[in-house]
Structure 1
Amino acid sequence: MQIKTLALAGVPFVALHAPAYAQTAQNPPPSPQAAIAPAVPVSQLVRQVDIPYRQFTLPNGLRVVVHEDRKAPVVAVSVWYDVGSKHEPKGKTGFAHLFEHLMFNGSENAPGEFFEPLKEVGATDYNGTTYFDRTNYFQTVPTAALERALFLESDRMGYLLGAVTQAKLDEQRGVVQNEKRQNDNNPYGLVQYKLLEGLFPAGHPYGHSTIGSMADLDAASLDTVKDWFRDHYGPNNAVLVLAGDIDLATARPLVEEYFGAIKRGPESKAPPAPIPTLPAPKKDVMQDNVAATLLLRSWVVPGLNDEDSAALEVAAGVLGGLSSSRLDNALVRREKLAVQVGANNADFAQLGQFTIQTVVRPGVDAAVVEKRLDEILADFIRTGPTADEVNRFVTTTVAGRIDGLESVGGFGGKAVALAEGALYSNDPGFYKRRLQALSRQTPESVRAAMRKWLTRPVYALNVVPGKRPAYEEAKRAAADPVKAAPDTPFQGTRGPLPPVGEVAGLNFPAVQRTRLGNGIEVVYAQRTAVPVTEAVVSFDAGVAADVPGKLGTQGMTLAVMDEGGTTNLDSIRLAEAKERLGAGIGTGGSNDRTTFSLEVPSANLQPGMALLADVVRNPAFREEELGRLKNQALAGIQQELTSPQALAGRVLPPLLYGPQSPYAKAQGLGDPKAVAALTRADLVAFQQAWLRPEKAKIFVVSDRPLAEITQLLEQRFGDWRGVGAAGTKSFGRSQPSAPKIVLVDRPDSPQSLIVAGLPTQLRGTQDLLAYQTANDALGGSFLSRVNTNLRETKGWSYGVRGSFNQAEYAAPYVLSAPVQADKTGPSIAELRTDVRDFVSTKPITQAEFDRAITGAIRALSGNFETSDAVLGAMQSNDLYKRPDNYYATITQKYRGFTRDQLADAMRRVIDPNRFVWVVVGSAAQVRPQLDSLGLPVEVVPAAAVAGGAAPAPATPAATK
């Protein structure tokens, strides 16, 4: 699906979703104290980061970078244009992003949606994004389809404007405006605008959001957007990166063939973008429909090519980026004044933005937190970081880059690193220079950069709970797209799309199984593309194992295990130990499983495995950590009651599965009253019943051989024994809700979130491939009927999806559609019609069938390019009782389907009349639209979804 990533400087991620789930040790493994020290030097890790490349430039100015990686028969094609929102003059804000959308709507020689020919060839990771400095388009395609991708990218670079019509402009303008409404509708959704306004003087290139203003989008005419394209999208303003199963000798003639005839355009010039310094400190306060006060501190600083940028990145990491950051340790762990903190140095091509965020714990005086925040920052600037803090941050950063090297494209793979360097720094190898610069940082260099840039006047913004004031953007009524005259097909001049050769089949790695001495099964696959090991300890628990009457027990158990330290390491020392290794250790879960995961450079595998075992087997469940994390969870629950997605996620499961189903326990972070009352004994009881060796399996994907992995696991887990009785699950009959609409009243919402669920008789352990393949046409892809209708045809939504939510004992069908508020009722009517037609008079067509089957087969190599994808497939195969070679044989299954077989499968399980609908929106505007749909309507206040507001956390005495 085309998801436009609208990254905005300094906008905080404020989700307040506490760490997921959890265990204590009955038979503790050997002490992991040795795990703290023996990490390899960061310089050794930096040497492992290498993306060799070759490059050339066409006579028309197109710069081409080629990286060869033969691990899979796929090639990443990534085109980056030197045009972003910073190039937009007054009155044309949002044009770069709007044109990003238009360039997916077909070109002169490839009319129709850009996704159609990409889907046909099995492309993966295909999308486009816009930011301050650039617009990019990317896809990973089978090697045999490379010419098709080059034709498409060159056609929209050199042969686009004949296909840009008034109808397409109106259509995509509506989509973009709904994307804006969707972003604005979230808690803290207006922070981005206020922050940019406070930091930059009027007219500064970086002073407006990438999404632009409603007024400017409304004013965009066909002539102005065409002029925008002519001025910015020439080959001389672009970088093309080809990474993967390709070499220079093959790439050059292909690029010359498809891009060589495109004429140069005007040279894109970076607008003057001085670094502004406020004349004096400035503070603003804004109200929003949020559960907790957010404190922001921000400065404009130098961009990524400045010598101080690396030092500022380290400063942000040590101050608020690491789990063991200064702000985390002081404000969250020790003093318990905040529930979330963070710091980030967003470095752009011409300048950067250094931002600190703190979410005040409900019940705490924000003024107290502000004072402590300023004191901590002042002390940090005065004294600087320690050498160990610098090393931990750099190690963590480099480890993340090593892991990212496994992907050739997408949002963050090797093609991205090369393209960013070429476009922003005139050096595709800038990624390595940056890592080397980070590794050279010292406490003094970081302190010097902070003294230089962070002692300037600060812009402070406090977002406080309250009624969001009416704002200009929301006053603009949503309008239906103007129905322009039908498009006249443009006669292209380049001939048909290139044919696709024989696509190589999937080479899924061989999966091996063995057992430890205590019977724990180990499921292993070897991948050698990067020197990284990923492991998951999976327990047969999950949401279904949560405690009736105490919902949130599992989540709190895992939060304390993940964040609260072990019997060997307190919470701070545990976080520091992970960072010294560059190890990611975390918890998670699904309806059926609870997991502990490890991702670590294989050079640090032995101490990393020791640390994982310590977390899994030796949780301390310290009372002070339990109190802290309960307060965070309660704040998170309050925040869930302000979020459209979280509200819908709480309301739907009991309706969909029936209130007695174990899966109905999926109630966000839990019952606030139950969470507030949880004791240490509750957590220990859950851990001993569910997170025990008899319920465990260990999944590993690594470049290291199975014998080495097994030996390490045997040392750390092989002597583990459970104590007491194990927990059990009961999946008896439970009655789902009768069809109705539950309207969750969230006043003043510019959008409504529609989520609909249909119980089916399916179970996840059945073969669901036919149903999932058929759903590609109904709701499973960007080209699906529901998305095409509400997004592309009606212009009422930014994106609509439908899928089977597969769990071990159930597989309901769920639709999700965020829509503009004034089209809530009509959108439900359209969705009902789409579903009804699909299972009656308009079943899957031959074209939809061919697209789904061919695309799925050809996409297999791209889908399983990374170890993370393989690890997920191994766990799914095990959970759903599929053979380990399931994906190695799936092509034959696809080829055995018929169109009638898929149509019949959907008719058997989809009953359009049995959906239950949840709508999160403004009842005053939405209720009249729903009353005409012929279904009972129940209205629930958002605050009542979790049984009323969460209990107020206890207020501790502030400490220093």
Structure 2
Amino acid sequence: MRLSIHLAASVAAVALVPSAFAQPSVATAKPAPVADLVRAIDIPYEQFTLPNGLRVVVHTDRKAPVVAVSVWYDVGSKHEPAGKTGFAHLFEHLMFNGSENAPGDFFEPLKQVGATDLNGTTYFDRTNYFETVPTAALEQALYLESDRMGWLTGAISQAVLDEQRGVVQNEKRQGDNQPYGLVRYKLIEGVFPADHPYGHSTIGSMADLDKASLQDVKDWFRDHYGPNNAVLVLAGDIDVATAKQLTAKYFGPIKRGPESVAPEAAVPMLAQSKAEVMKDRVAAPLVVKSWPVPGLNDPAAPALEVAASVLGGLASSRFDNALVKGDKTAVQVSAGYSDFAQVGTFTIQAVVRPGVDPAIVSKRLDELVAEFVRNGPTADEVQRTLTTNVSRRIGGLESVGGFGGKAVALAEGALYSGDPGFYKKQLAALAAQTPASVKAAAQTWLTRPNYSLTVMPGERDAYDEAQVPPPAKEVNAPEVAAKGTREPMPKVGEVGALAFPAVQRARLSNGVELVYAQRGTVPITQMVASFDAGTAADVADKLGTQAMTLAMIDEGTKRFNSIQLAEAKERLGLDIFTGSSADRTTVSFRAPSANLAPSLAIWADLLRAPAFPESELGRVRTQMLTQIAQELTDPEGIAERIVPPILYGAGHPYAKDRGSGDAAAVRALTRADLVAFQKAWLRPDKAKIFVVSDRPMAEVQAALDAALAGWKAEGTAGTKVFREDRSLPAPRIVLVDRPDSPQSRITGALRTGLRGTQDLLPVITANDALGGDFLGRINMDLRETKHWSYGAYGGFQRHANAAPYLINAPVQADKTGAAIASMRSEISAFVGAKPMTQAEFDRTMTGATRSLAGNFETSGDVLGAMQANDLYQRPDDYYATITQAYRTMTRDQLNNAIRSVIDPNRFVWVVIGDAKAVRPQLDTVGLPVDQLSAASVAGAPEERK
């Protein structure tokens, strides 16, 4: 199992292996050479450059009537001089606040055209903006992107600057407020000299941002955001001829700006290894070691990528095998290579088992790295790494845009390496790696001095907190220097209809229902075994039984122990992962269709008879207990544990949805408990299998029949009882004291009388204007108007037998009480005197209908929709008919629908924050306040103040 520690994330391994479909066994499976896999990855493109220097890259993909628009600027935090840190990131925010010829929030027009994957990001090397729009809305998207490139400065006022500066400060607070949230700053400071271009965080110094004048930020824009410093990628339903015409029309008039010059950024050499210790309110010690290394354009880059994967990236990595599964001194270990444009970092980290001296783990990490440097990886380790890493790229290429689609691959290559096709060179170089080349890179770079940081549990060390900026001095509309200098924004044409694939149903030979859809965009099969269980089926006096069962399910079979199983999956490019919702427990499968049969053999073993080996139980239990302790240090984790019992009452099945369970119960769980849960709930008579594949249904069904033949239910099935309960929780504020929190996490919880199986489309659609969207009133008030939060949203949490309304709003600590008062006011107005306006209704309806094609671009999107339709008892063609349902709605219908279920006076407000700073504010809100200790959240006797 993998823990959800803030600094670590596991990446699924998925490969494309074009071997024969039907293979008799895992042992005889012969994945194709990695070089063949690399040759199969292709993103055809053409490029041209406008006279003003704008580079345009075009990729045609006609699978859906959408186009990804991605603009990458050659400006990141590495370009910031001393005294102006954070400017690049600040401008990412400012450029969403409207331009001279398109005033107002940038999200407004894009919402109306049905944009999906809409966002922007900043990092050391670049700032990018991206959206995927219906083909008919492409001209409007290009107008908006060009207007903020060429006509922005007149729209930046002091009020806008102060607003977005406050938002950025709350983005910083939100990150800092997490367990281990300050480690990112220490690592940068430890690896790079203070004057190095990569020597400060992208979010920057809040003091620098507070000092920034209006003229400073306008000068920064003029110096860095010219068309000659940008790459525009258009990927999807477009051709080069159209791209040339439209880009010349919209971007051609923008004048060239100063050339962006990459700063000198050599890989630093630390004079000697340095070790530091810091304290934080965390559940377990963390050991981190980081080396400065070359960046992505260096010949050593692919070898360093392989080294990181072998040491701590694979499920069967050396660190995992030695420290987690071997001596069990760590509960999680990972390694990663961050390949920036000019430099990189090679970082390893270990979450230390509570009670173990971190120095022991640190020393063992050093020994394992030293052994790797001496001897290098094995050929099998290199092969498994190459298959895994090439596979990750395939998984992302089904999407044309977003955070990791085709547009991203082309833009990164163009901006960082001067070649949109650089991804092919990277993959070819990766495929060419050998044990000798990886060993050589490790000997060159991992023998140098490194920076080491140990984080110990304790009171968080003091750090400079961002100050609240002064209120905006200017409340009038932003100045407009060149309003009307362009033609009006183009209209949106007729948007293409959603082409949701046909869904077919059948029965396997053992009676399990198969729900299938065919998508041929990538040669991969995804499937989910969905069981009618979920956290509602957890054992009432042993909360955590389901979580432990899922954590143990892939720890071994009769054929493989834990390590052998991980290696077998990696060789096949197979990814198996587990999950659960309140209603369903899932065991999911993702594999190259060419390896379907041998991959299914492993998956079937886990479904039918997982071993639950006693030899792994103690280790997994320790990992789970650490996860539970971690949840109790995390504001989100605390909220997830406390809100369900408040909403439903302690005896309700949905009240069991409390994170990873109860620590005392998990400590007492035995193998027999896990086997009993598996037999009662993870059984064929409670299962449905959902599949999206490029292979025909008959072929997939035959493979499943072969793999699952003879799978039968044994013993008595588990039952869930949902009794009707008309009682409602008393309106109040529940405060959980989390000392020294720079933000308070607020959850507003309202139990409604709705069930998820009802037609909730009217209330969900109405809520778009209140809490369901960036432009919703709650977010616009707390983020854009007051800049007290980085983001605040509300929506219906849809379960089969309930649909409560939940609001999540992290706000700066000194505005906690005022934020609750403000949200109560917004909700009251929306269901009272100020309901959804005609403008909000029009925006919601056009956005909902026009975004459908982009919402179901990938196989994973389709697979999720199929499961949701089944759970909520909707027809399989639900999304094919939803447009007509939207068109029959009226504004009065939506207002009446949401007014009938949301009572602003019945909310319970849960606040996770620093009681000494927050309690006086809450006492003025007008609701009773229950203050709980951290111990009560952990399951100890409740303590109220």
Distance in 1 (CA, whole Å) between partners of 2:824 and 2:7 is 32
Q: Which amino acid aligns with 1:482?
A: A
| CA-based RMSD | 1.6
Q: Which amino acid aligns with 1:692?
A: R
Further displaced range: 518-527 or 932-941: 932-941
The partner residue of 2:643 within 628, 637, 652 is: 652
Distance in 2 (CA, whole Å) between partners of 1:410 and 1:202 is 33
Distance in 2 (CA, whole Å) between partners of 1:35 and 1:812 is 49
Further displaced range: 858-867 or 649-658: 649-658
1:161 is aligned to 2:158: no
Change in Cα spacing, 1:126 to 1:680, as seen in structure 2 (3 Å) is: same
Alpha-carbon deviation of 1:488? Answer: 4.6
On the 8 A contact 1:328/1:340 being kept in 2, the answer is: yes
1:914 is aligned to 2:906: yes
The partner residue of 1:203 within 151, 172, 195 is: 195
Q: Which amino acid aligns with 2:69?
A: V
Distance in 2 (CA, whole Å) between partners of 1:895 and 1:495 is 31
Change in Cα spacing, 1:495 to 1:317, as seen in structure 2 (3 Å) is: same
Deviations 1:205-241 (A, max 9, x none): 0000000011011011100000000000000000000
Counterpart in the other structure of 1:484: 474
Counterpart in the other structure of 2:55: 63
Change in Cα spacing, 1:623 to 1:305, as seen in structure 2 (3 Å) is: same
TM-score (norm 2): 0.97
Alpha-carbon deviation of 1:480? Answer: 5.0
Q: Secondary structure at the match of 1:482?
A: coil
On the 8 A contact 1:77/1:140 being kept in 2, the answer is: yes
Counterpart in the other structure of 2:604: 613
Q: Which amino acid aligns with 2:906?
A: R
Distance in 2 (CA, whole Å) between partners of 1:469 and 1:864 is 46
Counterpart in the other structure of 2:17: none
1:183-582 residue pairs with structure 2 within 5 A?
183-472=175-464, 474=465, 476-488=466-478, 490=480, 491-562=483-554, 564-582=555-573
1:874-889 residue pairs with structure 2 within 5 A?
874-889=866-881
Counterpart in the other structure of 2:630: 639
Q: Secondary structure at the match of 2:349?
A: strand
Change in Cα spacing, 1:307 to 1:633, as seen in structure 2 (3 Å) is: same
TM-score (norm 1): 0.95
Q: Which segments of 5 or more consecutive residues in structure 1 lack a partner in the other structure?
A: 1-11, 21-29, 950-960
On the 8 A contact 2:24/2:597 being kept in 1, the answer is: no
1:521-920 residue pairs with structure 2 within 5 A?
521-562=513-554, 564-734=555-725, 735-920=727-912
Q: Which segments of 5 or more consecutive residues in structure 2 lack a partner in the other structure?
A: 13-21
Counterpart in the other structure of 1:925: 917
Distance in 1 (CA, whole Å) between partners of 2:389 and 2:743 is 38
Alpha-carbon deviation of 1:496? Answer: 1.5
Distance in 2 (CA, whole Å) between partners of 1:359 and 1:569 is 27
On the 8 A contact 2:7/2:180 being kept in 1, the answer is: no
Distance in 1 (CA, whole Å) between partners of 2:898 and 2:51 is 54
Alpha-carbon deviation of 1:719? Answer: 2.0
Deviations 1:370-418 (A, max 9, x none): 1211111111111111111111111111111111111000000000000
Counterpart in the other structure of 1:7: none
Q: Secondary structure at the match of 1:889?
A: helix
Distance in 1 (CA, whole Å) between partners of 2:627 and 2:25 is 33
Further displaced range: 900-909 or 389-398: 389-398
Distance in 2 (CA, whole Å) between partners of 1:488 and 1:279 is 51
Alpha-carbon deviation of 1:484? Answer: 1.5
Distance in 2 (CA, whole Å) between partners of 1:608 and 1:468 is 46
On the 8 A contact 1:36/1:577 being kept in 2, the answer is: no
Q: Secondary structure at the match of 2:938?
A: coil
Q: Which amino acid aligns with 1:658?
A: G
On the 8 A contact 1:743/1:939 being kept in 2, the answer is: yes
Q: Secondary structure at the match of 1:790?
A: helix
On the 8 A contact 1:480/1:795 being kept in 2, the answer is: no
Distance in 2 (CA, whole Å) between partners of 1:329 and 1:872 is 33
Change in Cα spacing, 1:426 to 1:582, as seen in structure 2 (3 Å) is: same
Deviations 1:835-887 (A, max 9, x none): 01100101111110111111000000000000000000000000100000000
Distance in 1 (CA, whole Å) between partners of 2:240 and 2:9 is 46
Alpha-carbon deviation of 1:618? Answer: 2.4
On the 8 A contact 2:162/2:469 being kept in 1, the answer is: no
Deviations 1:814-850 (A, max 9, x none): 0000000000000000000000110010111111011
Alpha-carbon deviation of 1:433? Answer: 1.0
Alpha-carbon deviation of 1:37? Answer: 3.5
Deviations 1:142-174 (A, max 9, x none): 000000000000000011111111110000000
On the 8 A contact 2:165/2:469 being kept in 1, the answer is: no
Distance in 1 (CA, whole Å) between partners of 2:9 and 2:102 is 44
Distance in 2 (CA, whole Å) between partners of 1:943 and 1:448 is 51
Alpha-carbon deviation of 1:269? Answer: 0.3
Q: Which amino acid aligns with 1:929?
A: Q
Change in Cα spacing, 1:529 to 1:31, as seen in structure 2 (3 Å) is: closer
Alpha-carbon deviation of 1:32? Answer: 8.6
Further displaced range: 856-865 or 930-939: 930-939
Q: Secondary structure at the match of 1:585?
A: strand
Counterpart in the other structure of 1:92: 84
The partner residue of 1:938 within 926, 930, 933 is: 930
Deviations 1:888-907 (A, max 9, x none): 00000000000000000011
Change in Cα spacing, 1:56 to 1:477, as seen in structure 2 (3 Å) is: closer
Change in Cα spacing, 1:948 to 1:659, as seen in structure 2 (3 Å) is: closer
Distance in 2 (CA, whole Å) between partners of 1:415 and 1:67 is 8
Further displaced range: 652-661 or 409-418: 652-661
Q: Secondary structure at the match of 1:933?
A: coil
The partner residue of 1:150 within 120, 126, 142 is: 142
Q: Secondary structure at the match of 2:886?
A: helix
Alpha-carbon deviation of 1:38? Answer: 2.9
Change in Cα spacing, 1:117 to 1:516, as seen in structure 2 (3 Å) is: same
1:20-31 residue pairs with structure 2 within 5 A?
none
Q: Secondary structure at the match of 1:862?
A: helix
Change in Cα spacing, 1:135 to 1:246, as seen in structure 2 (3 Å) is: same
Distance in 1 (CA, whole Å) between partners of 2:479 and 2:254 is 22
Q: Which amino acid aligns with 2:808?
A: S
Q: Which amino acid aligns with 2:720?
A: K
Alpha-carbon deviation of 1:40? Answer: 2.9
Distance in 2 (CA, whole Å) between partners of 1:184 and 1:16 is 16
Q: Secondary structure at the match of 1:334?
A: coil
The partner residue of 2:6 within 14, 27, 30 is: 14
On the 8 A contact 1:19/1:558 being kept in 2, the answer is: no
Length, aligned pairs only: 926
1:107 is aligned to 2:99: yes
Change in Cα spacing, 1:617 to 1:118, as seen in structure 2 (3 Å) is: same
Between the aligned residues of both structures, percent identity stands at 68
